Chains A and B, each alone.
Chain A
Amino acid sequence: RKEVEQDPGPFNVPEGATVAFNCTYSNSASQSFFWYRQDCRKEPKLLMSVYSSGNEDGRFTAQLNRASQYISLLIRDSKLSDSATYLCVVISYSGAGSYQLTFGKGTKLSVIP
């Protein structure tokens, strides 16, 4: 099983739709989780952290399910500007003061007019 897995998509959704992505991780000791957004030919930008209790930022909701080892990102009322690739990031403590950060390969979202 890969360390961090995402459905590559593409997810093609109409404007105004609600869409959700999952990201599964294999290391049960993983500690920190994030969602990044990457536009075509640009750098990844931090979208939001993922907290154990779940968190919301406007139209975006992130959730963590430790039992099933996945995080999710829900986008409500999709806008054309939401079209991008969404990367999940998992940070795990690997001992001796070191942390391992693993990126998923991303899920591509296209919001269609």
Chain B
Amino acid sequence: DGGITQSPKYLFRKEGQNVTLSCEQNLNHDAMYWYRQDPGQGLRLIYYSQIVNDFQKGDIAEGYSVSREKKESFPLTVTSAQKNPTAFYLCASSASPHRARTYSNQPQHFGDGTRLSIL
């Protein structure tokens, strides 16, 4: 079955530590995204990538880094510079608007999230 997988489901970070959240998809999607959701809040975009080896900052990129070396993978590193990392992190993917015939109608599909907390 095609899908998008995030791991781990729960992650704890010590002060000063960098941690990496994994996101893998086998949907053959070009575009991938990372969001952060705080309790009772909406989703905020951290980083996104529309193609391999390219990514762009979202609205709240400070304290985070990403890489996109493979189409299937878009890991997110929460660095020690991110002072308030406790949140629910969601990875998503979508077909590239450039390739699809109905380019304007590409929803995102989400992984089941990683909950990050500070120890």
In this complex, how many residues of chain B approach chain A with their Cβ under 8 Å: the count is: 22
Does chain A have a CB within 8 A of B98? yes
Contact with B along A33-51 (1 / 0, CB 8 A): 0100000011111100100
A6 nearest CB neighbor, chain B only:
B42
Bound: A34/B106 CA distance, A: 9
> Which candidate, B12-20, B69-77, B107-115, is the interface stretch facing chain A?
B107-115
Find out whether the CB atom of B108 lies under 8 angstroms from the CB atom of A101.
yes
Cβ–Cβ contact A42 & B113, under 8 A: yes
Interface centre among B97, B107, B111 (most CB of A within 10 A): B107
In the complex, chain B residues whose CB is within 8 Å of the CB of A32: 104-107
Contact between B90 and A91 (Cβ–Cβ < 8 Å)? Answer: no
B residues touching A (Cβ–Cβ < 8 Å)? 33, 35, 41-43, 45, 50, 56, 88, 90, 97-98, 104-113
Contacting residue for A43 out of B41, B97, B106, B111, CB 8 A: B111
| B90–A43 CB distance below 8 A | yes
| Contacts A98-B50, A105-B41, A105-B42 given; does A43 touch B105 at CB 8 Å | no
Complex CA–CA separation, A93 to B109 (angstroms): 19
Interface range for A: 20 to 34
Query: Residue-by-residue, is A11-26 near B (CB-CB < 8 Å gives 1, otherwise 0)?
Result: 0000000000000000
Query: Cβ of B50 and Cβ of A49 under 8 Å apart?
Result: no
User: Hey, which chain B residues are within 8 Å of A103, CB to CB?
Assistant: 35, 42-43
The reply to whether B97 and A46 form a contact with Cβ atoms under 8 Å apart is no
Cβ of B101 to closest chain A Cβ, rounded Å: 14
- B111 / chain A contacts, CB cutoff of 8 Å: 43
- Contact A34–B107 (Cβ < 8 Å): yes
Q: Does A73 contact B (CB under 8 A)?
A: no
**CB-CB under 8 A for A43 and B104, given A87-B42, A99-B97, A105-B42:** no
Q: Which of A31, A45, A49 contacts B110 (CB 8 A)?
A: A45
Contact B107 A43 (CB under 8 A): no
Q: Is the CB of B107 within 8 A of A31?
A: no
Task: Chain B residues near A106: list those with CB within 8 A.
Answer: 42
Please report the C-alpha to C-alpha distance between residue A87 and residue B41 in the assembled complex, in whole angstroms.
11
